[in-house]
Amino acid sequence: MRVRVLIRPKKGILDPQGQAVERALPALGFDGVSGVRVGRLVELDVEDPERLGEVCEKLLANPLIEDYEIEELTPAGAEAR
Amino acid sequence: MRVRVLIRPKKGILDPQGQAVERALPALGFDGVSGVRVGRLVELDVEDPERLGEVCEKLLANPLIEDYEIEELTPAGAEAR
């Protein structure tokens, strides 16, 4: 099953990359952009999606400062078994 | 309008972060994971989504080595005008 993990800085946690983007945009001539948050995107094939939460907590995200969200890209039923 | 930009290494471009994740997983006891690609996630509020492609090309992604995909999180019609 192919899954997508979205990793974002937790609410209230400083996001220096997002701030940098937000500050750079007006200098490049783009106005009207706000609320920029920069995170990570991980896409992977997993055989056993039940353990994916553990993978996220231990390897992909830092649960102290980041939240993660898992999206299925191919439904489990779509695979040959 | 709130939008999400997904930035991924282009196909064929080396993804050292993805390789690192893929190699680390068996050592942590997780097998059956493959095809790991690591990219960036940017979520932002834009007033004028027409210029977002230009923002992606100039600031968020490196078009030589990265592809980007834009997803609308709030449909344009949902906003008060």
Q: Over the stretch A13-35, which tens digit does the pLDDT of each residue have?
A: 999 999 999 999 999 999 999 99
Report how far residue A47's alpha carbon sits from residue B53's, in angstroms, rounded to the nearest whole number: 35
A61 touches chain B (CB under 8 A): no
**Under a CB-based contact definition with an 8 Å cutoff, are residues A72 and A5 in contact?**
no
pLDDT of A81 strictly over 60:
no
Give the predicted TM-score (pTM) of the model: 0.88
Question: Strands A33-46 and A2-9: what pairing?
Answer: antiparallel
Q: Tokens at residue A30, please?
A: 């783009």
Of the partner residues A25, A37, A58, the one whose CB lies closest to the CB of residue B43? A37
Cross-chain Cβ contact A44/B28 below 8 Å: no
Indicate which CATH number applies to the domain containing A15. 3.30.1280.10
Rounded mean pLDDT, B60-73: 96
* Residue A17 to residue A13: CA distance in whole angstroms: 12
What does the alpha-carbon distance between residue A81 and residue A1 come to, in Å, rounded to a whole number? 11
| Domain count along chain B | 1
Cβ pairs bridging A and B (under 8 Å) = 100
Distance (Å, rounded) from C-alpha B71 to C-alpha B81? 21
Please check whether residue B75 is in contact with residue B3, taking contact to mean a CB–CB distance below 8 angstroms. Answer: no
State what percent of residues in chain B have pLDDT above 70: 91
Q: Which domain holds residue A58?
A: 2-78
Q: ipTM of this model? A: 0.87
d(CA A79, CA A27): 48
- CB pair distance less than 8 Å for B44 and A32: no
Reading across the β-sheet that carries B33-46, which strands appear in turn?
A66-72, A2-9, A33-46, B33-46, B2-9, B66-72
